[in-house]
Amino acid sequence: MMSVIVLTLIIFIGSYFAGLLGSLTGLGGGFVIIPLLTLLLHVDIHYAIGASLVSVIATSSGSAAAYVKEGITNIRLGMFLEIATTAGAMVGALIAVYIPTSFIAVIFGIILITSAVMSLRKKAEQIVLEKNKLAETLKLNSSYPTANGTVAYSVKNVGGGFFMMLFAGIISGLLGIGSGALKVLAMDTVMRIPFKVSTTTSNFMIGVTAAASAVVYLQRGYIDPGLSMPVAIGVLLGALSGSKILVHTSSSGWLRWIFAIVVTFLASQMIYNGFMGKI
């Protein structure tokens, strides 16, 4: 048994580093915060998911504010895909009530490993200019500013991307994470959007997606104020530090590897404890 003040300080410090790592690697803070709370501090996974969702909204809204102004975010594409992510998030939050917590822990571990592996992929900027009927009707094709002037791009495979977003939404609602890696994957590999656009647009969508499931968790009593407070403040401050560091370092390649190792360890612990019925 710990006193409130000691636990709050531990969670705050842990959340700061979770936010820092999440921002440096682009995976988001939820990935570290949920294992930290459940495995190390023995917090019930429902409370952990609730607190993580709150921190996800804070960080994604904070950074989206900066990105939107730069004009890289594709607002129409984001709005259109938010239909899928919010609907998915609602379903995810609703089924979370009926799924055993040990099963949620196992799914969490699997998604965590998948995302870490995907974050290690080489990212090459791709520009597709092929015309796509649906993308034109939905006005999804756009342009974005680069160092060499404005670059126009087209969007491919709108239906496939939409379907992937539905899945990303369910995972976000079920696990209380931003599932940014899944969103980027949908836009990057399925819709063939330039990497800079897909990361900023994914970030833009994460807040709304998380809000769609947070309204369910809020009413179910999963969002505890005493627990969410240090998590949200810590992760946000960590993410802010992370974005400052990113500006000053050209390569974060080694960092990604360290994070991948940490993440694999956490994920296997989540899966193991899930199977043993300890979560």
Partner 1 sequence: MSRFKDTDMQAVIGWILRVGVLLSMSIIFIGGLIYLYRHGQATANYHTFKGIPDFVHSAPGIINGIITLRGQAIIQAGIILLIATPVIRVVFSAIGFVLEKDYLYTGITLLVLLIIFASMLSGHAG
Instruction: Report the site for partner 1 in 148-207 (rule: CB under 8 A).
Output: 207
The rounded distance, in Å, linking the Cα atoms of 119 and 113 is 10
How far out from the chain centre does Cα 97 lie?
Answer: 21
Determine, following the binding rule CB under 8 A, whether residue 124 of this chain makes contact with partner 1.
no
Q: Which is nearer to partner 1, 160 or 221 (CB)?
A: 221
CB contact set of 219 (below 8 Å; sequence gap of 6+): none
The rounded distance, in Å, linking the Cα atoms of 35 and 48 is 9
Instruction: Report the site for partner 1 in 216-235 (rule: CB under 8 A).
Output: 216-230, 232-233
In whole angstroms, the minimum distance from the beta carbon of 1 to partner 1 comes to 5
Judged by CB under 8 A, the number of residues near partner 1 is: 68
Binding mask 15-34 for partner 1 (x = CB under 8 A): --------------------
Angle at CA 57, nearest 5°, toward 51 and 60? 135
In whole angstroms, the minimum distance from the beta carbon of 57 to partner 1 comes to 6
Render the burial of 76-89: b for 16+ CB within 10 Å, e for the rest. Answer: ebbebbbebbbbbb
Among the listed ranges 35-43, 111-119, 148-156, 266-274, the one in contact with partner 1 (CB under 8 A) is 35-43
Give burial (CB, 10 Å; 0-12/13-18/19+) of 33. buried
Q: Which residues bind partner 1 (CB under 8 A)?
A: 1-5, 7-8, 37, 41-44, 46-47, 54, 57-58, 60-62, 64-66, 68-69, 71, 73, 75-76, 79-80, 82-83, 86-87, 89-90, 93-94, 97, 138-139, 207-208, 210-230, 232-233, 236
